[in-house]
Structure 1
Amino acid sequence: MYAVMSSVSSFGRGIRDSLPIVAGYLPVAFTFGVGAIQAGLSAGQALMISALVFAGASQFVFVALVGTGSSAWTLISAALLMNVRHAFYGPSLLSYLDRKQQRIPLALLAFGLTDEVFATAIAGTAKQKEGEMDVWLLGLETGAWSSWLSGTVLGACTGMQLLEQSAFIRDTLEFVLPALFCSLLLQCTRHGGRSAVLFALAGTALLGIWLENHLALLGGMLSGAVFGGLPLPATPAATEKKKTIKKNKK
């Protein structure tokens, strides 16, 4: 009975921790729903894409290519190329899972991984109880996935009318996703990931001069993974904090 209650509690914490993602996903998914209708898809088709693909950027590209009459091979190739970075997410999180006590299938957890879910999961691993990481992660993914579906439905059913009536809403939606990424970056830097974030940003910015955005992003991820473990020069505040800790131990 205790194990069941503990799992329910962990799942609930995952749902709660997904709220910042939910706040960002709802308007972005809303925009996708609008774009899908504009491309000639039905609300049901837009919902099916969000439910089965659950990958924001590639969904927008998918809809844009559908609107231009692209072939199925082009659609699949574009989606795979844009989402190849997800191949790094699973192995990174796998080391935090207790395989002996794991109850959630890995395939299900892998499906729910997005950029924002991964960043939140990495930042929150230290807070999870032993053996409850997979249940918490499922709750985190469930909250994110549900909000993505909800936003898609709202956008597909009511979006066109709202955007036509309010230029403010239209302009605000363009800023939501960058703001969400900035907040997730702050979470990572607070949990010891400062060097990885800086190397990833530098790699992405430099490669973005010559490569397409999705390829530059992949290169930036590799830069962060390879060089992120290198120590950065300590700030005066960090140095003072270390001295205080050593002094208190004595």
Structure 2
Amino acid sequence: MRTYLFILTLTFVAATNGQQTAKLFPEPNNITTSVDSSYNINKIVDILLALVKVELNSKDLDRLDLPDFQEDFKKKVGPIRVKGYFKGWSGWTKSLTSLRRTGDAIVNENGGKISLEIPLGFADLQFGYQYQAKLRRVASTSGHVTATVGSNAVRLQATAVLSTTECSASVDSIQLTDLGNIKVKATGLGPLNFLLDKIATWVTKRMHSKIEDAVQNGLKKAIDKAGLKFNCF
């Protein structure tokens, strides 16, 4: 197997608030590693993820707005089924900067093309909404919904194209493949408490594209700003 040398330059400068902020430049302060195992790829991925977090914070993407929505439902009350609706607005999801690698990167080589598949996830992911719910002629409630997502998975696929003179890397796709073990809390539901499980389903289907877009944007920006360079041997 050929060995490829990935060179990533990382410099830290003091920010105005006294904390350190990651800045990357194509200068000699290199972190260099040969890429002939998942272990070495993992180290590079972890560095890039740290940069992604910087990007997400700088663009205020740690917390995202979620779209307003309305869902209709029916509930059996005695011998009849009664119609109702649930409206959600001022929605948000947060803690996207808790993104982390959850397993080893999978590396496949085909000629001068290296494909990477990297399992990721969020250590902490939450969402919330203001809501109004009504079961016609039975109950009408309003309040706040908050929830924690206990399990989640993000699959990142990337490609490195290698030639004898120059190499490049690109993000092919990012997919939020799982949102599960969701614990929902709501104020004011009262007799409509049976909606808790439905609320989790209604909200999560609206979170996928928002989170995928934010992470993909952060990753691409981080790779560009990192000045990720490849020397081919």
- TM-score of the superposed pair, with normalisation by structure 1: 0.25
Greater C-alpha radius of gyration: 2
Higher relative contact order (CA 8 A, sep 6+): 1
TM-score w.r.t. the length of structure 2 is 0.26
Q: Name the one with the larger helix percent.
A: 1
Structure with the bigger percentage of strand:
2
